[in-house]
Structure 1
Amino acid sequence: MNSARLVRAAVAAALLTVSLAACSSDGDDGVPRSWIRDQYTASGSRWLDKDSAPTRVADAIDDKREALDRSSGGGMQFLRYGDDMVTVSPYRGGSMIEIEDYRNGYRRHQQHLVNWPNPNSQSYRGGGPGEGK
């Protein structure tokens, strides 16, 4: 009996690990968080590039992992990755990178995101795993 329980527990742990990995933002279609952490200087919950303009930084992030959508406005660049959003803003002659939940980012910057789906609409599905279900 104990070995059957151990097998069930091992299978459950493996399934949980796989499902959590599939939902993380560093998946094939999510924000390339680990790459951003490696390329840019951390500053609290943000990252800085002291020398590059927002367009150049956004281009580099988009080249690393293509965003589902991209927009700009107010000197900022916006990249959408499913349920997450990357905002690259001018900062002291360089750029500041912020990663946040799509709903929060959309609420903050919706005036620049006119062609992006409203996350508060009934039809919004987020673009993440299970999109369109």
Structure 2
Amino acid sequence: MNGQTSSTNWGCIAGVAVVVAVICSLLAIPMAVSAVTTDPHEWVREHYTHVSGDDPDEGPVVYSSSDDVDSVLAAVVAGTRPDERQRGSATTTSLSSPTGADPQDVHYLRYDDDWLICVYPSNGQTQIEVTEFDEGYRRHAGHVGHWYRHRGSSFRGGGGGYGK
């Protein structure tokens, strides 16, 4: 073999390697994006034990885990990427939580206008409550009322006043 043939072979091998690498990266990008943008309800359904509820448009669908709240919350956030997070605060303790948990122990996750997930302790377990956003908003309005502004609503408040 002469030097020119050997370098031609290596050039072909390098070219094929580059083509294979480009194809693999083009396939990997959509898979990585879909892994991050998974439907939050589907993700929770795949990772936790179903407790109650069937239709998140009509009421909460509840799942449970034996892991602590912080671990479950971290896993749900990493697996679903919420648009906004909030924890119940001392200012909402006068409002009872529909979950039955202390309002300060409930973590709320908002997913655009689509989903509301609550993570909270219950009887030594961690509960994960999934609702469609409108249903979840009605259920938890006293705690997440400010989130309705994301809906693009034309609601401008009630009563008299300037600028309505």
TM over 0.5: yes
Alignment of 1:1-133 (within 5 A): 28=37, 30-31=39-40, 33-45=41-53, 46-53=62-69, 55-73=70-88, 74=103, 75-82=105-112, 83-118=114-149, 119=151, 121-122=153-154
List alignment gaps of at least 5 residues for structure 2.
1-34, 54-61, 89-102, 156-164
Superposed CA RMSD = 2.6
SS of residue paired to 1:56: helix
- Contact 2:37–2:81 (CA under 8 A) maintained in structure 1: no
Instruction: Write out the 4+ residue segments of structure 1 that deviate beyond 6 Å after TM superposition.
Output: none
Higher helix share: 2
TM-score norm. by structure 1 comes to: 0.60
Deviations 1:107-131 (A, max 9, x none): 22122225423459327xxxxxxxx
For 1:78, the aligned partner's letter is: Y
Distance 1:51 1:85 in 2: 21
TM-score norm. by structure 2 comes to: 0.50
Per the TM alignment, residue 51 of structure 1 is displaced from its structure 2 partner at its CA by 3.1
Bigger Rg over Cα: 2
What is the aligned residue count?
96
Higher strand share: 1
Instruction: State, as a whole percentage, how many aligned pairs show the same letter.
Output: 27
List alignment gaps of at least 5 residues for structure 1.
1-25, 124-133
